[in-house]
Chain A
């Protein structure tokens, strides 16, 4: 189980929770797990989000979350 920290306006789709538990080993698992548990999140996750694992931006869906102490969902980032 990993605890995923959501930005708080997503709590509309999670019954008020901003930190939710998901059974997952990878970023893909986190995202799929979130969608399965909270279908309202699907369109938001599908447009693209950044997943930050222990302070590091995950670089792909296969990045491991096993043993992570902290997982954050953020809006997708790029730059100029």
Chain B
């Protein structure tokens, strides 16, 4: 049986009970974003720009408005003016103002009595555009003569004289890189590119919004964060936040892409114009791909110096990333994570956040980290090869440990990279034999993990069962993990706890389920809340017994006299205390609001075996291993699930997925047939090994596990392809035509 850091025996944490929301989800009863309707409901549809960049000359909605059943049309004119900063960005992205900034940018929306009628009406809205020059690729967008996406978009970080589409600039580092490179036996400098990919959640965005002329409104929406929806919709529409109640539906995946707003304010604006009738908007898949998410694309130069025995002496990175027509490409995070697994005597990092005529990027699982890892982990592998060194040993040799300075500046606290690498090294997959055209690649990955604003409340029911209200939507089993931690703390069965994900009216502000924080932050807050309720139950028992509350302790779900001096009383169980609480002082509850400290970072190491078909360039993943530090796995099945899901997304990013634009700046592959995410027959079983180096910042040692896993697959597969086919792929995706071309070039070369 596992023990926590205090040496106490754990009964529930670490077990694998059925998830509490499971029955609804296997019977089709669970209600997702599009599954709820309301009396008097209208349907909304959105008119989107077919141009990558165009001035909106005129919008004529008269034909649409004349169609029977059409109840409201909104354009940017229906939104308040004068917003600044990110609020302006959000508003502009929700609905274009003077110019459409990307293919798919919303320019108008309509509500009607049926979905088909709303779509018909949307087609009747006539928009006159003056097409402007556009720019898609990040290296084109950063040129001084590129079409200007937005005057004055640069913030104070950007030095004078920078190219016009540079919106943010960052530079950091430490040590003397020149001396470091001079001390190296081998210095290599390479350039890498990654394409934009989409989070690809299977549930399209959906919401049902209602807003009256009195400014009071409600929304049902699939989101990772109901308070973010509330705050963003309120600022974009000029509403009072507390007047908007936002209820999260079950969520069909998010991966960061559902931490922001897209069409949600449109449903509210349409509702207000339609006399307060609720308006449902459900995106099509092509709307999802054209106008939500995606992640940024990157162009990266990396230089590393290494001694002949594999010590890294210096590193330099310059990353350019575009995150669409708005600032926010995660170039800073990419740089912070790029060298995080390595102890570096000297490192310099330079980053540019560049605007381009593409959708506003949203967070995607460890935002930025996969790109940086692709560049750095690829180059380290290449250099190990050149020096004849074992790639895993080199990683161990340079691995950061507690007390080391991180490549991004501060000193690491407790981390588990070495343990992770050692676990990978002794895994049987490393000894599996490889055949012709097969190769093995390894790579590390890192994510900080995030804490964030958290509010949890817990109440004891009359029968001694416990309800916990959390504000973090359950995307992958967090109800189960929070119930386990609560039950463990209170000393009651797992089944006696019900965890509810509640609406904005029921708790204080919560940040979304992002940054791998739900089990860490909501879990930690639930434990604190449970301890408060326990203290109150001890007080009630003390009063019944007529002894000092300090003389009562809590164990096994019951108040007990603490030691022989407290008096002789039989334990008073939670059922008994709960049954009497109405007459012993009223309801018993606990709550906790904070930004919990101590979100521990998580390192991972992946090992992949591939086979590359020399005739077609197709890469088949034969074997896949994820090793990652979870701190402590509360519900190991869902930890494994995060590892496997992250790896699968990373494999898709590495091999297939990419936003493909035409010369006209239009997205060419806005359906799942063409934007091909991994399917069951593309993948093998994904082996996992959970490493547990407890996080001292969490009562049970939890580290967030959701994000790190998407990072290593990109370079691990590139490294495996080189091992299998002798070609080094430096741009993603490593699709069959590209790999084949590289094989042919190498043959001819």
Contacts and interface: CB of A to CB of B under 8 A. Distances in A.
A30 to B, nearest CB: 14
Contacts of A10: 157
A59 B597 contact: yes
A5 interface: yes
Nearest to A63: B597
B259 interface: yes
A78 B452 contact: yes
B297 interface: no
Nearest to A5: B409
Nearest to A48: B86
B451 interface: yes
A54 B405 CA distance: 11
A77 B410 CA distance: 14
B530 to A, nearest CB: 21
Interface stretch (B189-197, B363-371, B373-381): B363-371
A54 B597 CA distance: 13
B652 to A, nearest CB: 15
A8 B448 contact: no
A70 interface: yes
A9 B171 contact: yes
8 contacts: A7-B172, A52-B409, A54-B410, A72-B410, A78-B515, A79-B449, A80-B256, A80-B259
Given A7-B170, A8-B172, A52-B410, A74 B336 contact: yes
Interface string A29-65: 0000000000010011001000010111101100000
Given A75-B170, A79-B514, A43 B156 contact: yes
B170 A59 contact: no
A54 B411 contact: yes
B50 interface: no
A9 B155 contact: no
B451 A9 contact: no
A52 B597 CA distance: 11
Contacts of A77: 333, 448, 450, 515
B707 A79 contact: yes
Contacts of B595: 59-60
Nearest to B331: A75
A3 B570 CA distance: 57
Contact of B411 (A8, A59, A70): A70
Contacts of A57: 448, 451, 597, 599
Interface in B241-283: 255-257, 259
Nearest to B365: A80
A9 B169 contact: yes
Interface residues of A, number: 25
Given A8-B173, A78-B450, A79-B450, 6 more contacts: A9-B169, A47-B85, A57-B599, A59-B595, A78-B514, A79-B448
A55 B516 contact: no
A56 B594 CA distance: 16
A47 B155 contact: yes
B367 A44 contact: no
Contact of B363 (A43, A59, A74, A79): A79
Nearest to B452: A78
Contacts of B257: 80
B451 A74 contact: no
B156 A40 contact: yes
Contacts of A78: 259, 363, 367, 450, 452, 511, 514-515
Contact of B155 (A5, A12, A43, A80): A43
Nearest to B697: A56
Interface of B: 85, 155-157, 159, 169-173, 199, 255-257, 259, 332-333, 336, 363-367, 408-413, 447-452, 511, 514-517, 594-599, 697, 704, 706-707
A8 B157 CA distance: 11
A70 B157 CA distance: 24
A72 B412 CA distance: 12
Given A52-B409, A74-B336, A80-B366, A44 B155 contact: yes
A56 B597 CA distance: 8
A52 B412 CA distance: 11
A47 to B, nearest CB: 7
Nearest to B406: A55
Contact of B408 (A40, A54, A74, A80): A74
A75 B363 contact: no
Contacts of B516: 79
Contacts of A7: 170-172, 409
B452 A80 contact: no
A72 B514 contact: no
Contacts of A55: 410-413
B517 A79 contact: yes
B447 A79 contact: yes
Nearest to B258: A80
A47 B155 CA distance: 10
Contacts of A52: 409-410
Given A52-B409, A80-B365, A8 B447 contact: no
B333 A75 contact: yes
A9 B413 contact: no
Contacts of A44: 155-157
A52 B364 CA distance: 24
A78 B257 CA distance: 13
A72 B599 CA distance: 17
Nearest to B448: A77
Contacts of A9: 157, 159, 169-172
Contacts of B596: 59
A16 to B, nearest CB: 13
Contacts of B156: 40, 43-44
A80 B172 contact: no
Contact of A80 (B157, B367, B451, B598): B367
A79 B172 contact: no
Contact of A74 (B85, B409, B412, B697): B409
Nearest to A75: B332
A74 B363 CA distance: 18
Contacts of B411: 54-55, 70
A75 B410 CA distance: 13
A13 to B, nearest CB: 8
A75 B411 CA distance: 16
Nearest to B409: A72
A72 B596 CA distance: 19
A60 B366 CA distance: 23
A47 B364 CA distance: 21
Nearest to B348: A8
Give the 5 A-B residue pairs with the shortest CB-CB distance, closest first: A80-B256, A79-B515, A9-B171, A7-B172, A59-B595
